[in-house]
Amino acid sequence: MLLLGAHMSIAGGVEKAILRGEELGCTAIQVFTKNANQWRAKAISAETASAFAQAWRSSGIKTVIAHDSYLINLAAPEEDKWLRARNAFIDEMQRCALLGIPALVMHPGAHLGSGEKAGIERIAAAFKGIFAEAPEGVTVLIENTAGQGSYLGGRFEHLAEIMDRLPKGRLGICFDTCHAFAAGYDISSTEGYAGVMEEFRRLVGLEHLHAFHLNDSKKPLGSAVDRHEHIGKGAIGLQGFAQLMGDPRFAAVPKILETPKGEDNEFDRMNLGLLRGLAKED
């Protein structure tokens, strides 16, 4: 079964995301469990958790994953900022556990001038503490980035280095197509796609790839600029997405759109329709 959908708004209650996804025929969705631009959030009540579970159970949605707040930077060199991020991330994992969400996508963070090596050590140190305190049922998915500024995760090597420093089983990867392309990984052609996935296999391992973010890129290959475009309308183009949708190695991996939604999610309908077509063609 194709696990395909989009990031869905939680406006009006987290369970509303399920209803919105269901309306679009999603079989997988992504949500924030709180406002992604704020530190604070209302705790998840028993009522909220049960409304969410009820909506999920009675929907056609198989997979729900969460995305963490944009404020969290586990690579932060300053102690107080790092601690705040670490504690906020534990809270995010607890929110996922309360909602029964099994995976939480996060951006590895920015070293802010302290250097790649120091940043990676910082992230690994944060996760050691996080995994000791946070619920075990939630897998953390590190997302590859466009490699903008001091942001880590633009190279597959960064992802591998973080994973190598931590015990197996609690970490995986979320592969964002726009970010990979902007970071210089050319997935736009058949040969390009094959080469990039081979490099990912060699450095990280395909078994660690637990989710995809499907976004085309407004900006060219290697631009290091993260701007999402509708599927097929950007610099990656349809050929790259056809490769991915037809790749049997990723048939069971959830695939989530993070593209502009338009009025009443009209662009989600368009992009989902296109991707369903590409999945069938193979």
> Which residues bind to Zn ion, rule: CB under 5 A?
226
Partner from Zn ion, Mn ion, none contacting 268, C-beta within 5 to 8 A by type:
none
For residue 99, the one-letter residue type is L
State whether the Cα torsion 7-8-10-13 is positive or negative: negative
Q: CA-to-CA distance for 34 and 132, rounded, in angstroms?
A: 23
Partner from Zn ion, Mn ion, none contacting 226, C-beta within 5 to 8 A by type:
Zn ion
Partner from Mn ion, Zn ion, none contacting 213, C-beta within 5 to 8 A by type:
Mn ion
And the tokens for 180?
């990979």
- Select the span of 2-10, 119-127, 139-147, 195-203 touching Mn ion (CB under 5 A): 139-147
Q: Report the SS3 class of residue 63.
A: strand
For residue 201, the one-letter residue type is R
Partner from Zn ion, Mn ion, none contacting 111, C-beta within 5 to 8 A by type:
none
Our CB check for Zn ion shows the closer of 125 and 224 to be: 224
Q: H or E stretch including 104?
A: strand 103-106
Closest distance to Mn ion from the beta carbon of 61 (Å): 19
Closest distance to Mn ion from the beta carbon of 148 (Å): 12
Q: Which residues from 153-192 bind Mn ion, rule CB under 5 A?
A: 176
Q: Among residues 221, 223, 234, which one has the least CA distance to residue 271?
A: 234
Residue pair 69/32 in contact by the 8 Å Cβ criterion: yes
Provide the mask over 187-216, with x wherever binding to Mn ion is found by CB under 5 A and - wherever it is not.
--------------------------x---
Closest distance to Mn ion from the beta carbon of 57 (Å): 27
Closest distance to Zn ion from the beta carbon of 234 (Å): 12
Q: CA-to-CA distance for 155 and 39, rounded, in angstroms?
A: 28
Binders of Mn ion: how many residues, by CB under 5 A? 3
Our CB check for Zn ion shows the closer of 226 and 268 to be: 226
Residue-by-residue DSSP string for 15-31 = HHHHHHHHHTT-SEEEE
End-to-end CA distance of the chain: 14
Our CB check for Mn ion shows the closer of 48 and 151 to be: 151
Q: CA-to-CA distance for 234 and 211, rounded, in angstroms?
A: 21
- Select the span of 22-30, 93-101, 143-151, 157-165 touching Mn ion (CB under 5 A): 143-151
Q: How many residues does the chain have?
A: 282
- State the burial class of residue 188 (Cβ atoms within 10 Å of its Cβ: 0-12, 13-18, 19+): buried
Our CB check for Zn ion shows the closer of 139 and 145 to be: 145
Closest distance to Mn ion from the beta carbon of 213 (Å): 4
Residue 68 is a binding residue for Mn ion (CB under 5 A):
no
Our CB check for Mn ion shows the closer of 143 and 216 to be: 143
Closest distance to Mn ion from the beta carbon of 254 (Å): 13
Residue pair 147/159 in contact by the 8 Å Cβ criterion: no
Closest distance to Zn ion from the beta carbon of 149 (Å): 14
And the tokens for 107?
């951006």
Judged by the rule CB under 5 A, the positions of this chain that interact with Mn ion are: 143, 176, 213
